[in-house]
Every structure is written in structure tokens, then in C-alpha cells.
């Protein structure tokens, strides 16, 4: 590879920088939380498995309990600066890396001491080692104590029995433990949020930073701000974060939410351009049917935001919304009302893009089919018409296509480590689907971004980076797949499902490197011992996995060595025979 040879001539400084950058990359993989198995209803997890989770819980401020982030407390106590580097790595230095390692090692050790000897021991140790005031650390550990206790005592089966007896089942919030420890205890009736409270002040504040990162990244890589972005909005993250995804859309447009006398978010106002410091980005929102149902009022708010920005008398170079609407009205003699539609979802009463069904069932031939399918399912406009009547999902295919034709980047907010883009088929059907639809309209694939607010410092990643990270931390990671295989039959299905969802990203966004498929094949299929295990535990899913690899090659998503494919074919035939009872 020429790239490597070139690097041999790196100067000392360049070498050092590259090493630091690799340290970052390795540590990002190493420190990412992954599930190491599946839950069994009613069973408590082993205590040994909790240290990393608790450390992650302790890594965030908890305003509701007054507990501050433990790494932050340690950083202050040690008087070091351990903040993570920005995306371009400009701030990488050996010193900051060491500081971060020190803070992390101290945090880890504190948690270990907490688990072994309790709060007081951990607090005392932190005070002597890192000068963390006991009053501060005690708050952190009392939260962890409570979580520990709740995790030890699983009451799900009790709740099941009580519900069947017709007793009251308490409501509870829904999220992961790191995001919101008050999801414990489980065994409760999970609820959503009041749509009129969205976005919360906190969500709006956090979204500002994320949008800045997003736009800066795009500008660094493409030399300018995107004229328009397509956002995927889901209920999932917006419930858990009180509307960060919604707030991101508002920030891109450059508006802020307004609360009425009843403290409900019912309107928006434009943020002046001087304050915004950048143009207003045009935003096409493709919204899940679930978001549409759960956030009916918010659908109206988003439409109002677009209408508000479209009505501002601002120069085209500062207001892309207005510019794009004008351009479309002129080019296609299209009325304002249609050119300004930006909030799209399924037809009322319907859900999903079906792109996942089509991909999983291998039912498409041309790329256009998936693009068209996405538009067919998602071209129903929401908001209000010029007479103030609710559109309630008016079919507007041309409007969606017209809006997508100016999109240069697509984006979705991810808030939780628990549901990653290869864990479920819904990410590729939505974000992949809309990217494919943009590609059809513009003849070029848009930049595809995902946020990652999992660590203390939110990040923006490209879809390719995200897939690499998920592949390395989960699919190819023995810690992950051995954890799954402990669950036998279901574990094999989980591995197969990750490969299928990865394949979905090839189908919709051409976002999967060859090595991903090659290593999947080597790890699960070409390793005879592993293949035999999968075959024993769940031959049906083993067969599906091999079939999916062959399909990836067949569709040109994977440039594989011919003899590797040959071997996969033989193995596939063998699996078929075994299932059919021939062998």
C-alpha cells in the first residue's frame, strides 16, 4: 500500500501526532460501552458486570441529585486538563493524553474500591489520592449505591404477576441507566413525555453545541455550510432527551422555542443573524410515524419554525430556507405553500419506510427502488396550509422530492449506546433511506452524519466512522459475540441480525468497508470451530448469515477474493443440506 510507504517518511513530530491519534482511536474503541449478553426477564445481572456501567453513570453531572461528574471532580482535584480533543485532533498532546489516562485510571480505581469496600472507603481514597472533597464524592456514590441496590433486586416477575392480578402498575420513564438512573426499578409501565414540554431548556442548550460541531465538521470537509440538510426525527431520542433532536432542527433553522403563559412550548422566534453568526440552514424533516403520533404538537411547532424563517426578510446568502423556497418557486412555478413544506412522515395511521423489509427480504433490483420506496412512504406533509388547516398527512411527493433535491447532508441524533445503527434495522431504513432518496434527486450521495452524545463530550461522526466503530466494538469483538453466544440460539440470531443491519447500510448508503465483510466471514464462517458452534446452536440463523455475505458480494457491496466466496458457497450448501436433513 502506497499510503504506508509514504508514512515512512514522516517527521518525528508527524509520527508523534499519528501515535497520539491512534491512541485516541484505540481508546475510543476500548472505552465504548457494549452489551455483553441479553437480559432474561426477572433475572438480576451478576454484580461483577456492573463496574463499567457504574463508572459511566458516574461520568455525568446529575443535577437532580446534586452529584457532579466524577471524572470532572478528579480532574479538578488533580488540577489537570483532561478534556477530550476536538475532531481534527489539533489539540492532541502527550500531556493531555496522560492527564486523561490518569483521570480515567483514578475513576476506575475509585469505582473498584466502591464495589469492594463501599462508599466511605471510595470517598476517603479519592480525598487522599485526588483531593476530591468527600461532600462531593459522597453524592456520587450514594447515587451508585442506590443503583447497585436496585440492580440486585429485580422485580419484573413480581410486576408481571401483579399486573395479571389486576393491580396498579406504576409508571416509569424510559431510557438507559446512564441517561436516566430513575428508570430503575424496572417492571413498570413506561411512559413518554408531555409534547408541550419539548424541547426543554436543557435540550435546547445542549443542541446548540452539537449543531455547531455538526456544521463545523461539514464546513471543514466541504468548504461551506450545507444548503439544506435532511434530518431524521424519532420519538426514541426525543423522549429520552426531552427533545434534543427537535432542538437541533430549531438551531439549524436559527429559531428558539417560546413558552406560553401555561409554560407550554407553542411558538418560536427567530434568533437574529448577528447572534446566530452563520446562515440559517434549510432543514427537511423526515419524521417517524411514532414521533408524529407522540409529538403531534411538536410537528406543528417544526412547521411553524420553517414558516417563520421563510418569512424573514433576509439576504439569500444568510437564509437558505428562504433562498431554496424562492428558487424552487421560480424554477418549477410551484406555489409557496408547496415549496415551503418541510415536515414529512408516513400517511396518517401508517408507520415505517418499508425500506428495511425490502432490504431484509432482498426484494429490490435497482438503487432507485429503495429511494422511491422511501419517498412513497414518507411523502406525507404535516403542519398547516395557508388557511391554517391541519394538513394531517397530505400526500406531497413532488414537495418532498423538491426539498430533498437541495440537500447536501443528512443527519440523525443518537442519544444512547444501547441502540446502535447496526443493532436494529430502523436506522438504515430511515437515515439510509433518506440518504438514498437524496442521492436519487441530486445524483450524488450526501454526507451522512450521526451524533454521539454518549461520552461527556458530544461528537459528530460520519456514518462510515460509526459503522467501523460499531463493527469493532460489537460485531467483531469476542467480548460481544461470546456474550451473545452464552445465550445460544438467540445469540446466533443476534449476530446474524448485526450482519444483516450492516448490510442494510451498504444497500442504502454504500457505507461499509470491504474489510468489515471480510472479517465477518473470517470470524464467523471461515473459522471452522466457530462455524460449528453457530451451526449447533442455531443452524437457521447461521445459514442466513452466510447467505447475507454472499448477497453482499453478489450485489457488489463487497469486493471479496474469489476463493473466499467459493468457500462460503460450499459452506452455505452444507448448511442447507443439514437443515433440510440431507447431510
Q: Which of positions 107-166 make contact with other proteins (CB under 8 A)?
A: 151, 154, 156-157, 159-161, 163-166
x-or-dash string of contact with other proteins, 398-417, rule CB under 8 A: ------------------xx
212 binds other proteins (CB under 8 A): no
* Helix ranges, 379-462 (H): 397-404, 426-427, 433-442
Give the residue with the Cβ less far from other proteins, 49 or 330: 49
Q: What is the 3-state secondary structure (H, E, C) of 427-476?
A: HHHHHHHHHHHHHHHHCCCCEEEEEECCCCCCEEEEHHHHHHHHHHHHHC
Give the residue with the Cβ less far from other proteins, 81 or 363: 363
Closest approach, Cβ 229 to other proteins, in A, equals: 20
x-or-dash string of contact with other proteins, 177-196, rule CB under 8 A: x-----xx-xxxxxxxxxxx
From 113-121, 312-320, 487-495, 560-568, span contacting other proteins (CB under 8 A): 487-495
9 binds other proteins (CB under 8 A): no
Closest approach, Cβ 334 to other proteins, in A, equals: 21
Give the residue with the Cβ less far from other proteins, 315 or 488: 488
Residue ranges in 544-573 that form contacts with other proteins under rule CB under 8 A: 544
Among 109, 127, 216, 418, binds other proteins (CB under 8 A): 418
What is the distance between the alpha carbons of residues 519 and 156, in angstroms, rounded to a whole number? 39
What is the distance between the alpha carbons of residues 358 and 447, in angstroms, rounded to a whole number? 23
Strands (E), 75-227: 171-172, 189-190
Under a CB-based contact definition with an 8 Å cutoff, are residues 254 and 422 in contact?
no
Under a CB-based contact definition with an 8 Å cutoff, are residues 324 and 284 in contact?
no
Among 76, 127, 208, 267, binds other proteins (CB under 8 A): 267
What is the distance between the alpha carbons of residues 295 and 234, in angstroms, rounded to a whole number? 10
DSSP state of 425: S
From 113-121, 140-148, 222-230, 231-239, span contacting other proteins (CB under 8 A): 231-239
Which residues have C-beta within 8 Å of that of residue 143, sequence separation ≥ 6? 57, 58, 62, 65, 67, 181
105 binds other proteins (CB under 8 A): no
Closest approach, Cβ 500 to other proteins, in A, equals: 8
Using alpha carbons only, give the angle 559, 564, 565 rounded to the nearest 5 degrees: 70
Beta-bridge partner residues of 286: 232, 344
Give the residue with the Cβ less far from other proteins, 161 or 311: 161
Closest approach, Cβ 328 to other proteins, in A, equals: 23
53, 48, 32, 20: which is closest to 147 by C-alpha?
53
Give the residue with the Cβ less far from other proteins, 228 or 525: 525
Closest approach, Cβ 147 to other proteins, in A, equals: 11
172 binds other proteins (CB under 8 A): yes
Torsion of Cα atoms, 191 then 234 then 425 then 480, to 10°: -60
Among 145, 148, 318, 539, binds other proteins (CB under 8 A): 539
What is the distance between the alpha carbons of residues 383 and 546, in angstroms, rounded to a whole number? 45
Chain centroid to Cα 339, Å, comes to: 30
Q: Cell numbers at residue 579, please? A: 437443515
Give the residue with the Cβ less far from other proteins, 323 or 378: 378
Which CA distances in Å does 382 have to 57, 229, 391, 442?
38, 18, 5, 24
- Gyration radius from the chain CA atoms: 25
Closest approach, Cβ 417 to other proteins, in A, equals: 7
Which CA distances in Å does 111 have to 62, 97, 125, 126, 531?
17, 21, 11, 10, 38
Residue ranges in 272-301 that form contacts with other proteins under rule CB under 8 A: 289-294, 296-297, 299-300
Residue ranges in 42-101 that form contacts with other proteins under rule CB under 8 A: 42-43, 45-46, 49-53, 56, 87, 89, 94
Residue keyed to cell 395479571: 164
Give the residue with the Cβ less far from other proteins, 37 or 574: 37
Residue ranges in 321-380 that form contacts with other proteins under rule CB under 8 A: 346-352, 354, 357-358, 360-361, 363-364, 372-373, 376-377, 379-380
Give the residue with the Cβ less far from other proteins, 187 or 446: 187
Among 102, 119, 266, 318, binds other proteins (CB under 8 A): 266
Among 473, 501, 506, 508, binds other proteins (CB under 8 A): 473
Which CA distances in Å does 406 have to 225, 227, 370, 397?
12, 7, 19, 15
Amino acid at each position: 500500500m502506497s499510503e504506508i510507504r509514504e508514512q515512512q517518511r514522516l517527521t518525528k513530530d508527524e509520527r508523534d501526532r499519528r501515535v497520539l491519534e491512534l491512541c485516541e482511536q484505540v481508546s475510543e474503541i476500548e472505552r465504548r460501552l457494549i452489551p455483553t449478553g441479553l437480559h432474561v426477564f426477572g433475572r438480576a445481572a451478576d454484580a461483577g458486570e456492573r463496574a463499567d456501567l457504574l463508572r459511566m453513570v458516574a461520568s455525568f453531572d446529575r443535577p437532580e441529585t446534586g452529584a457532579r461528574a466524577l471524572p470532572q471532580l478528579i480532574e479538578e482535584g488533580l488540577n489537570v486538563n483532561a478534556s477530550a480533543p476536538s475532531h481534527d485532533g489539533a489539540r492532541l498532546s502527550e500531556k493531555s493524553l496522560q492527564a486523561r489516562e490518569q483521570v480515567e485510571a483514578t475513576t476506575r480505581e475509585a469505582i473498584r474500591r466502591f464495589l469492594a469496600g463501599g462508599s466511605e472507603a471510595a470517598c476517603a481514597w479519592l480525598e487522599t489520592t485526588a483531593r476530591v472533597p468527600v461532600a462531593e464524592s459522597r453524592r456520587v456514590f450514594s447515587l451508585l449505591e442506590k443503583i447497585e441496590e436496585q440492580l440486585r433486586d429485580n422485580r419484573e416477575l413480581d410486576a408481571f404477576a401483579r399486573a395479571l392480578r389486576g393491580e396498579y402498575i406504576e409508571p416509569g420513564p424510559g431510557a438507559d441507566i446512564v441517561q436516566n438512573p430513575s428508570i430503575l426499578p424496572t417492571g413498570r409501565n413506561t411512559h413518554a413525555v408531555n409534547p408541550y414540554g419539548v424541547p426543554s431548556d436543557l435540550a435546547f442548550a445542549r443542541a446548540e453545541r452539537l449543531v455547531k460541531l455538526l456544521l463545523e465538521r461539514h464546513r471543514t470537509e466541504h468548504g461551506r455550510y450545507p444548503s439544506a440538510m435532511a434530518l431524521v426525527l424519532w420519538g426514541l431520542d426525543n423522549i429520552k432527551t426531552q427533545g434534543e433532536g427537535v432542538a437541533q432542527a430549531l438551531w439549524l433553522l436559527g429559531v428558539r422555542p417560546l413558552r406560553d403563559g401555561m409554560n407550554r412550548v407553542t411558538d418560536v422566534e427567530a434568533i437574529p443573524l448577528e447572534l446566530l453568526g452563520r446562515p440559517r440552514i434549510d432543514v427537511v424533516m423526515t419524521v417517524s410515524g411514532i414521533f408524529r403520533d407522540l409529538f403531534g404538537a411538536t410537528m406543528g411547532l417544526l412547521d411553524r419554525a420553517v414558516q417563520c424563517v421563510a418569512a424573514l426578510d433576509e439576504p439569500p446568502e444568510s437564509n437558505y430556507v428562504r433562498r431554496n423556497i424562492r428558487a424552487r418557486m421560480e424554477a418549477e412555478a410551484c406555489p409557496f405553500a408547496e415549496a415551503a413544506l418541510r415536515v414529512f412522515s408516513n400517511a396518517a395511521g401508517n408507520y415505517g419506510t418499508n425500506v428495511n423489509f425490502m432490504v431484509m427480504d432482498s426484494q429490490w433490483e435497482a438503487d432507485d427502488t429503495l429511494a422511491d420506496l422511501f419517498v412513497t412512504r414518507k411523502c406525507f406533509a404535516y403542519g398547516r396550509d395557508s388557511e391554517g388547516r391541519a394538513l394531517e398527512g397530505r400526500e406531497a411527493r413532488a414537495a418532498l422530492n423538491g426539498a430533498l433535491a437541495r440537500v447536501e447532508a443528512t443527519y440523525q441524533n443518537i442519544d444512547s449506546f444501547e441502540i446502535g445503527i447496526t443493532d436494529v434495522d430502523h436506522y438504515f431504513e430511515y437515515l439510509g433511506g433518506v440518504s438514498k432518496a437524496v442521492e436519487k434527486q441530486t445524483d450524488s450521495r450526501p454526507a451522512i452524519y450521526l451524533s454521539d452524545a454518549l461520552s461527556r463530550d458530544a461528537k459528530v461522526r460520519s456514518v462510515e466512522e460509526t459503522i467501523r466503530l460499531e463493527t469493532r466494538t460489537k460485531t467483531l469483538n469476542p467480548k460481544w459475540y461470546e456474550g451473545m453466544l452464552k445465550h445460544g440460539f438467540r445469540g446466533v440470531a443476534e449476530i446474524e441480525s448485526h450482519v444483516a443491519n450492516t448490510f442494510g447500510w451498504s444497500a442504502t448508503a454504500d457505507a461499509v468497508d470491504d474489510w468489515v465483510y471480510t472479517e465477518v466471514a473470517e470470524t464467523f464462517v471461515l473459522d471452522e470451530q466457530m462455524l460449528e458452534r453457530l451451526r449447533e446452536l442455531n443452524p437457521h440463523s447461521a445459514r442466513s448469515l452466510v447467505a447475507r455475505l454472499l448477497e453482499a458480494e453478489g450485489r457488489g457491496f463487497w469486493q471479496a477474493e474469489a476463493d473466499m466466496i467459493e468457500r462460503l458457497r460450499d459452506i452455505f450448501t452444507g448448511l442447507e443440506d443439514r437443515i433440510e436433513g440431507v447431510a
